[in-house]
Each structure stands twice: as C-alpha cells, then as structure tokens.
Amino acid sequence: MNKAERLLAILASSVKAGGGIHTSAELAFMMAEKPTPAFTKFLTDNVNKGLLRRVCNGIFESTLTPPDPTTAIYKIVKKLRGDVLNYISLESQLSYTGDISQILMDRLTVITKGRSGTFSTPYGVIELTHTKKPIDKFAKNLYFDKNIKMYRANTLQAIADLKACNRNVHMLEN
C-alpha cells in the first residue's frame, strides 16, 4: 500500500468513526509522519490529484469518503477554533429558532472566544465573531446540540449578541 492509499484508508476509517474533517497536523499524526513541508507538499499533490479537498486553509477532507454534509460545517468550525469556546448565535441561531423569517442557506454565524474571521468553505461561509465577555456572563444561556456537537445560544442570548455586534435587529419577528 503506497502513501496515498494509506491516507485514503485512514480518512475512510475516520468518517466511519464520525470524523472526516482534519487539519494537516492531524493527518500527519494519523499517518505517523512529521508535519514537514514535504508532508504539506504530499497533501497538496493529493488535492491536485482529486483525492483530497482543501475545505479551508490547512483543513482537508477525502473526496472519496467525504463527511456527512449536514454536519461538516460544524466540524470545520471546531478545527478552526477548537481550542476556545464557540457557539452558534446571531442570525444563524435566530433563523434556526424561527425568530427571524430569513433562512441562512450559505452562512454560519458563530460567537467565539478566539479571533474573529470569515472563512469560505464548500459547505458555506463561516463567520466567527469574537466576544470579550467573560464566559460566566453568557454560559447559562447556552445549550449543547448533540446533533452538531456544538453549543447554541438561546433566543435571548442570540438577540443580545445581535445587539452587541451592532447587527440588523429589524429582521426580528417580535
């Protein structure tokens, strides 16, 4: 089995285990390789061959065994800011709860304790908005969604976040 076949086998088994989205460092670890420039070139070569897809800078998925498309964007968020608290809020959460009539089709709005940023992925745009608030000020207003394995804001918190970020509140139903 050559190196590319080994990579595909590892990715296929990770999808079966609920994974499917990996950083280059994780892929190097799973293949017992060092994350060197040569390994990065190996990943780029596999992207060019169509075996891998770069979903974001430094984050990959297999094209042969892709992750579940309904949860892939949430997995990408966790890879982008996995070391800090993130939760679905703002327009994405208010659309999810029906508090705004607009349905966000191609954008996920997330509040993060990490850096802000906007990331274009094959699954949609991820908009990360940093909050300076201490976690104890909003933790009671979050709940864990086991389907996406991420926290979500309750309606009051999502509205408070919308106002704190000076976003459009005219779309609220009530």
How confident is the model over 59-103, as pLDDT tens digits?
999 888 888 899 999 999 999 998 999 999 999 999 999 888 777
157-168 tens-digit pLDDT: 999 999 999 887
Instruction: Scan for tokens 């949860």, then name that residue.
Output: 71
Question: Residue 14: pLDDT above 90?
Answer: no
| C-alpha span between 151 and 140 (Å, rounded) | 11
Classify each residue of 139-153 as buried b or exposed e, where b means 16 or more C-beta atoms within 10 Å of its C-beta.
eebbeeeeebebbbb
pLDDT tens digit string along 17-53? 667 899 999 999 999 999 999 999 999 999 999 989 9
Whether 141 shows a pLDDT value over 70: the answer reads yes
Across the range 8-21, mean pLDDT stands at 79
For position 103, what pLDDT does the model report? Answer: 75
Q: Please give the average per-residue pLDDT across 108-112, as a whole number.
A: 97
Report the pLDDT value the prediction gives residue 12, as an integer from 0 to 100.
82
- Tell me the helices (H) and strands (E) count for the chain, helix number first: 6, 9
Question: Which pLDDT score is estimated for 11?
Answer: 85
Please state the three-class secondary structure of 73-132 as a single string.
Answer: HHHHHHHHCCCCCEEECHHHHHHHHCCECCCCCCEEEEEECCCCEEEEECCEEEEEEECC
Place of tokens 């994405």: 92
Residue-level length of the chain: 174
